[in-house]
Amino acid sequence: MPASRRKRVNGLLTEPLRPSSDCPCVPRSSAQPNVPGRGIVASYGPRFWMLVALVGLGAGLGGALLMELLRAVQHLAWSYHSGDFLDAVQRASSARRVLVLLVGGLVAGLGTILLSRGGASEVSEALWLRGARLPLAASLGRAIHSIVVVALGASLGREAAPQQAGAAVASRLSDWAQVPEWQRRLLVACGAGAGMAAVYNVPLGGALFALEVLLGTLTLPLVLPALATSLIATAVAWIALPSLPTYAIPHYEISGAEVVWALIVGPIAGLAAVGYIRLITRAHALRPAGWVRVAAPVVVFTALGTVAIAYPQLLGNGKPVVQLALVAKLSVALLAVLLVLKPIATAACLGSGAPGGLFTPTLAFGVLLGGLLGQGWSEIWPGTPLGAYAIIGGAAVLAACMQGPLAAVVLMLELTHHADALMVPVLLAVVEATVLARVLGAPSIYSARLSGHDGHAETAQAPDDGRSGDGWSERDLEAPSDLLPTSMPSAPRES
């Protein structure tokens, strides 16, 4: 059966690839399924590996420059030269918090209008719906716009900008080298993952994000380029960025209380993830059109700045909140308030049309949920550090929201460097949460932002069309086409 005809679920082939005239990329000589022989890996010539290195270099440099821009804008807007972003916001006056956010709304709205004709799109949309094509200049402009808006206090993630830059570099290099369509998709996904790897110092997590979340497949021929681009980008970014973990936490030991708690909290995290995804979907559907794109972010950001007078933790991507939750430095009352307000702030910023990512805001929602539920559990079964519960909850919600359990677990490990002892409860909660989210038909936070998930689908569908009440169908959850080629020349190698 041709590879393009094999059944897929969320991008994953449900039937194994076997040697055939249609797909000679699968070896006939080895019984080991992941040994490619003279298949796809053998077809990667010097030019392809040169592109891999250049994509990694471009993603690393782009990520480092964008983070320097983030710092510069934050320091200028919030009037500080060293220390933590949250500390600077807390020191700022009430008037400054509102004023900076008002300026952020203007920048978000005007930038959206100015960049709307450039043809740039979300990386996931470009990969899945637009043939992995991103215009270089417009995409870099979108990345800069995104990072400035986040620096001014938008409750959105900073990872969207380096992902956009890395993917745009890969797309431009693919145009130059005229690589096949499937190699273009691979390189663009690797570029996005490498951008993420560079700014978070997560080389393995960035590679898995590209493969599991963006491409929906894990095979040896694809793993090698993804690893190479991410490690090169991470190493290059060390020129300007620290090689330390993003979050500083103590070493947490495993306990029976954590395992039992993970068994109970996994389904709760899955349900919370489904609700969060639906909130993101609705917010995306409410994005304004026309000149309302200027007014909407001004109103939303000004309101956010007003709320931030009482809760400054709402501003920014949520990194300080995650740090505080992972070391149990948030009170029960503040955990509960932020658990409600942070997702609303993120959805409001997204719904206003502002650019930005969802990775850290989603992680913040997960650790807040885990921290709050862990506080209650500690009253029943005391003795476990509360930060351990935040790690487990954060990994579970992140996995379910991304529909990437392996990427979520590895990212949590690399972001903290001290969560390995909690692997059993983390995996238990991750599996339960991800399975439940899939059973309930939720897409990922990235596919929820596609144009097709606009929240306006008819709910009164025929019962056999596979569509849920939120407009999600089985077709929506599949990859648009096979990544691997349906045929491969056996003799000539790429020059």
Supply the CATH number for residue 296's domain: 1.10.3080.10
Range(s) of the domain holding residue 142: 46-237
| pLDDT mean over 425-450 | 93
Which residue, of 237, 272, 300, is where some domain finishes? 237
| Residue 58 predicted with pLDDT over 50 | yes
> Within this chain, do residues 163 and 283 fall inside the same structural domain, yes or no?
no
Give the number of domains in the chain.
2
233 and 264, same domain (yes or no): no
* Same domain membership, residue 264 and residue 184: no
Is 319 in the same domain as 185? no
- Residues 392 and 441 both lie in one domain: yes
Q: CA–CA separation, 453 vs 220, rounded Å?
A: 32
Q: In degrees rounded to 5, what are phi and psi of residue 127?
A: -70, -45
Residue 439 lies in a domain: yes
- Residue 129 has a pLDDT of 86
Query: Both 260 and 394 in a single domain?
Result: yes
Band (pLDDT 50/70/90 cuts) for residue 455 is very low
- For 138-152, how does the pLDDT look when each residue is reduced to its tens digit (9 = 90+)? 999 999 999 999 999
Average pLDDT, the chain: 85
233 pLDDT more than 70:
yes
Is position 457 within any domain? Answer: no
Whether 156 maps to a domain, the answer reads yes
Residues 353 and 419 in one domain: yes
- d(C-alpha 273, C-alpha 290), whole Å: 32
> What does 55-79 look like in DSSP terms, one character per residue?
HHHHHHHHHHHHHHHHHHHHHHHHT
270 belongs to a structural domain? yes
H helices present in 316-450, as ranges: 319-326, 332-351, 359-380, 386-402, 405-416, 423-439
CB 418 within 8 Å of CB 251: yes
Nearest to 106 by CA among 448, 340, 402, 353: 353
SS3 of the chain: helix, strand, coil, percent, to 5: 65, 0, 35
Residue 147 placed within a domain: yes
Q: What is the pLDDT of residues 290-307, one digit of tens each?
A: 889 999 999 999 999 999
pLDDT in tens, 247-258: 999 999 999 999
Question: 487 pLDDT exceeds 90?
Answer: no
Judgement on whether residues 365 and 313 belong to the same structural domain of the protein: yes
Q: Does the pLDDT value for residue 481 go beyond 80?
A: no
Residues 221 and 260 in one domain: no
Is residue 338 located within the same domain as residue 225?
Answer: no
Statement: residue 465 has pLDDT above 90:
no
* Amino acid letter for position 219: T
The DSSP 8-state label assigned to residue 254 in this structure reads P
Q: Is residue 172 part of a domain?
A: yes
Per-residue model confidence as pLDDT tens digits over 162-212: 999 999 999 999 999 999 998 999 999 999 999 999 999 999 999 999 999
Sign of the torsion angle spanned by Cα atoms 250, 312, 274, 207? negative
Q: What percent of the chain has pLDDT over 90?
A: 71
pLDDT at 457: 36
Residue 41 placed within a domain:
no
Calpha distance 369→124 (Å, rounded):
27
**d(Cα 324, Cα 128) in Å, to the nearest integer?**
36
Q: Is residue 36 part of a domain?
A: no
Same domain for 323 and 375, yes or no, is: yes
Per-residue pLDDT of 343-370, as tens digits, reads 999 999 999 999 999 999 999 999 999 9
Same domain, 290 and 224: no
Q: What pLDDT does residue 102 have?
A: 97
